[in-house]
Amino acid sequence: MKYLVPIFGLVGLALLIMLARSLANTDLVSTESFRLLFIFNVLFIASLVFLIAHQIFRLLKNIKKEIIGSKLTLRLVISFALMIIVPVSIVYLVSVSFLTKSINSWFDVKVESALEGGLSLGQKTLNILMRDIELKGRSMAYSIGNAEEGERDSLLRDMREKFIIDEVILYDQKINILGLSSANKSSVPTIANYEHIERAGRGFYGVIEEFDDTIILRAYIPVNFKNKIAERGYLEVRQPIPTEISSLAISVESVYEDYQRLSYSRKSLNIVYTLTLTIVLLLAILSAVAISFVISRKFSEPLAQLADATKQVAKGNFNKIIPEYGKKDEIGTLVKSFNSMTRQLDIATQNDRKNQHRVELARLFLDTILTNLSSGVIVVDSDQKIRLYNLAALTLLQINKQIIKNRVLDKVAVNNKELSPVLEFISSYVLAKGKSKDKNREYKINTNKNERVIRIQINSIRNDRKNNYIVLIDDITDVTEGQRHQAWSEVARRLAHEIKNPLTPIQLSAERIEHKLKTKLNDEDQTILSKATNTIVGQVNALKTMVNEFSDYARPPKIEKNNINVNMLIQSVVDLYEPVGINISIKQPNQVLMVMGDENKLRQVFVNLLENAKDALVDERKPQITIQTKVIKGTIVIVFEDNGSGVPENILGKIFEPYVTSKSHGTGLGLAIVLKIIEEHKGSIEIKNKRLGGSKAIIILPMSM
């Protein structure tokens, strides 16, 4: 289409020129060529119409599809078309009117009348001359008719010379020449037409003939011979009219005929010129409209590209570059500026994306840190809304499956009553705008029958002209427990030290008193003395036992590690309890399970646990203890189970603390010591109640290779 329109334009121009030349010089162009040219022009016009219709259809389709630039192209095409059609149409109308008037003005009535007058004059002159010839001919015919046969030739000559006639011929009825006289001796007489002779029989027949520039008058007159009544002759009088008169008459005739021919062709002339002008008009308008499509598209194309590129930029595509084609006009400058702008935008966007990516990475890093942080973190804004928190915070505060982001602290507190003190503390700190000196607090939170101790620490930060508050939540249960154990150990150690030292002298003194006084007293007193002494010794021993247990609990962590076969150790401990009457079953794998540890200490652990189980099975009709050892993920798991009464729920959470016991006897240090020994062996222990009754102690120890 890009080249089709210019080609069409050139062909149209060529056809226009040919049509114009054919009209300007009709001698050069034959009728057939003109007809062919006309048909070519009509076909070309039809092609142009088709081309324009196709262009319009395509343009309307583009407008319907909302292709950028199509509306502008349409406007430009309409503008160009109007700019062409209006003046050309005016010129056309004026030209047609002018042409028609001009052609009509050629045929002036006066000119026609003058020409007709001239021709009529010529005709009348010829008629007068013919009448003159006729009169002369009749006179000659009369004379010859009355003359003798032998005198005819001389009479013909004499009368011809007398009347100044060019040629006289006498015929008989069979058109035989009876006599002839001619001014031109060498001329050969032309034989008369029989038809002329026949017509002359009626009295007279005159013929005017044109030969080149000469007009000849022929008069045929019948001759009645006086002595031959039955016969009749015919006289032909031939007289050319004078050259001056004939040439003038022929010239008038020629002009008259030309005028008449032209007058007759007037209608055709009008039609031909009007048709040609119409074709020229159509060719000019249609070619111009077709070219206007190309020009309009040329104009609108960069603007359309610009608009399209602007849309692309609006969508965020900054790679769109408009071809510049080296144009130095305003549009070229605009395109260059636009390309420069998009390039800068592209660079800025890329930098922005990089920054966003960096920020995202930093946020992800922070998220990862917060997620993996064992401490809970909550960020609260000045409106007491929770802006940020991590999983640890939810876990520590025991807030399960709740979305607390952007929620106000009060609303969180409504759903979590046990957290009210914590949230109130945070809220009060926020309300004080961080000016409160009370930044740290510890709270006990009971969940799942466990008591956990958490520490809340608040700091205020200023970000983007707003105050935000970072709440750090730490689980300090282990720390407090450790501190408590340490305190208990210290108490036990001092008690053991302070109490154990005087016990031996007390016991020895009591025994010495009994020994010295026993013999000196009567039986009744001896019995009293012996009873008192035994009581002192028994209580001292009881105190010693208690002190020893304290000592064990408080002793520094000192163990002698050896490779111990756990299964064998358990079996040896169980053997001690055979006579007790409790069914103890052992489930052990065939594999030898070795532990690097202190045999005596571990034995103490197992004995302690069996003792606790035995105590729990006192009222049980079918007491049953099960000991199971197994290997899980490279560790030895030892499980002690019984079907006893289980551990009271209220002490289950702090069962390993000193002096926590459900039994009426005992120091309450057994499980505390067990925990200490297991921890010294880098293991762990857990005690829980079974669902169907009884308790279960699970010990995990690292396996020795």
Partner 1 sequence: MRFSRKIKLAIILLVSAGLNTSVIAENKILVSLLDIHQVKNIAYVSFNQRIDLTPELFGALEKGIPLQFNVNFQIIEHNKFWLDQIVLMKKGTYQIKYKNLIQQYEAININGDKKYFSEIKDGINFIENVKEWNVGIAVEPIGNLVMSLKVKLDKSSLPKPIQLNIGDDIWKLQSDSIVNIIETGN
User: Interface residues with partner 1 (CB under 8 A)?
Assistant: 22-23, 26-27, 30-31, 34-35, 38-39, 42-43, 45-46, 49-50, 52-53, 56-57, 119, 122-123, 126, 193, 207-210, 215, 249-250, 252-253, 256-258, 260-269, 271-272, 275, 282
Q: Which residue, 261 or 449, is less far from partner 1 as judged by CB?
A: 261
Q: Which residue, 56 or 147, is less far from partner 1 as judged by CB?
A: 56
Q: Which residue, 250 or 470, is less far from partner 1 as judged by CB?
A: 250
Buried b (16+ CB within 10 A) or exposed e, 389-428: bbebbbebbebeeeebeeebbeebbeebeebeebbebbbe
Minimum CB distance to partner 1, residue 299 (Å) = 23
Which residues sit opposite 594 in a β-bridge? 565
Minimum CB distance to partner 1, residue 319 (Å) = 41
Please answer whether residues 380 and 458 qualify as being in contact, where contact means their C-beta atoms are separated by less than 8 angstroms: no
Q: Which residue, 253 or 418, is less far from partner 1 as judged by CB?
A: 253
Alpha carbons 457 and 438: distance in angstroms, whole number: 9
Minimum CB distance to partner 1, residue 117 (Å) = 13
Three-state SS at 108: coil
Among residues 694, 651, 672, 690, the alpha carbon closest in space to that of 449 is found at 651
Among residues 211, 120, 231, the alpha carbon closest in space to that of 166 is found at 211
Minimum CB distance to partner 1, residue 187 (Å) = 18
Please answer whether residues 395 and 376 qualify as being in contact, where contact means their C-beta atoms are separated by less than 8 angstroms: yes
Minimum CB distance to partner 1, residue 104 (Å) = 14
Alpha carbons 628 and 612: distance in angstroms, whole number: 17
Q: Which residue, 167 or 642, is less far from partner 1 as judged by CB?
A: 167
Burial of 465 (C-beta count, 10 Å sphere; 0-12/13-18/19+): exposed
Residues in contact with 578: Cβ distance below 8 Å, sequence separation at least 6, in sequence order: none
Alpha carbons 99 and 93: distance in angstroms, whole number: 10
Q: Which residue, 27 or 66, is less far from partner 1 as judged by CB?
A: 27
Give the DSSP letter string of 160-221.
HHHHT-SEEEEE-TT--EEEEEESSTTPPPPPPPHHHHHHHTTS-EEEEEEETTEEEEEEEE
DSSP class of residue 452 equals E
Minimum CB distance to partner 1, residue 330 (Å) = 34
Q: Which residue, 282 or 609, is less far from partner 1 as judged by CB?
A: 282
Please answer whether residues 610 and 623 qualify as being in contact, where contact means their C-beta atoms are separated by less than 8 angstroms: no
Please answer whether residues 697 and 674 qualify as being in contact, where contact means their C-beta atoms are separated by less than 8 angstroms: no
Which residues sit opposite 179 in a β-bridge? 170
Can you say whether residue 434 is alpha, beta or left, with left for phi > 0 and alpha for psi between -120 and 50 degrees? left
Q: Which residue, 120 or 534, is less far from partner 1 as judged by CB?
A: 120
Minimum CB distance to partner 1, residue 72 (Å) = 20
Q: Which two tokens stand for residue 43?
A: 């076909």
Q: Which residue, 33 or 440, is less far from partner 1 as judged by CB?
A: 33
Among residues 694, 553, 700, 701, the alpha carbon closest in space to that of 613 is found at 694
Alpha carbons 602 and 610: distance in angstroms, whole number: 12
Minimum CB distance to partner 1, residue 337 (Å) = 40
Alpha carbons 24 and 392: distance in angstroms, whole number: 104
Alpha carbons 209 and 298: distance in angstroms, whole number: 74
Minimum CB distance to partner 1, residue 96 (Å) = 16
Q: Which residue, 28 or 692, is less far from partner 1 as judged by CB?
A: 28
Minimum CB distance to partner 1, residue 194 (Å) = 12
Minimum CB distance to partner 1, residue 45 (Å) = 6
Residues in contact with 695: Cβ distance below 8 Å, sequence separation at least 6, in sequence order: 613, 616, 641, 642, 644, 646, 647, 687, 688, 689
Which position has the token pair 């849309």? 311
Alpha carbons 239 and 140: distance in angstroms, whole number: 14
Please answer whether residues 405 and 390 qualify as being in contact, where contact means their C-beta atoms are separated by less than 8 angstroms: no
Alpha carbons 157 and 151: distance in angstroms, whole number: 10
Q: Which residue, 43 or 191, is less far from partner 1 as judged by CB?
A: 43
Minimum CB distance to partner 1, residue 262 (Å) = 7
Please answer whether residues 611 and 664 qualify as being in contact, where contact means their C-beta atoms are separated by less than 8 angstroms: no
Three-state SS at 591: coil
Minimum CB distance to partner 1, residue 120 (Å) = 10
Q: Which residue, 50 or 365, is less far from partner 1 as judged by CB?
A: 50
Amino acid at 64: K
Minimum CB distance to partner 1, residue 234 (Å) = 19
Please answer whether residues 452 and 477 qualify as being in contact, where contact means their C-beta atoms are separated by less than 8 angstroms: yes
Minimum CB distance to partner 1, residue 250 (Å) = 7
Q: Which residue, 39 or 191, is less far from partner 1 as judged by CB?
A: 39
Q: Which residue, 37 or 235, is less far from partner 1 as judged by CB?
A: 37
Minimum CB distance to partner 1, residue 33 (Å) = 10
Q: Which residue, 129 or 309, is less far from partner 1 as judged by CB?
A: 129
Q: Which residue, 272 or 559, is less far from partner 1 as judged by CB?
A: 272
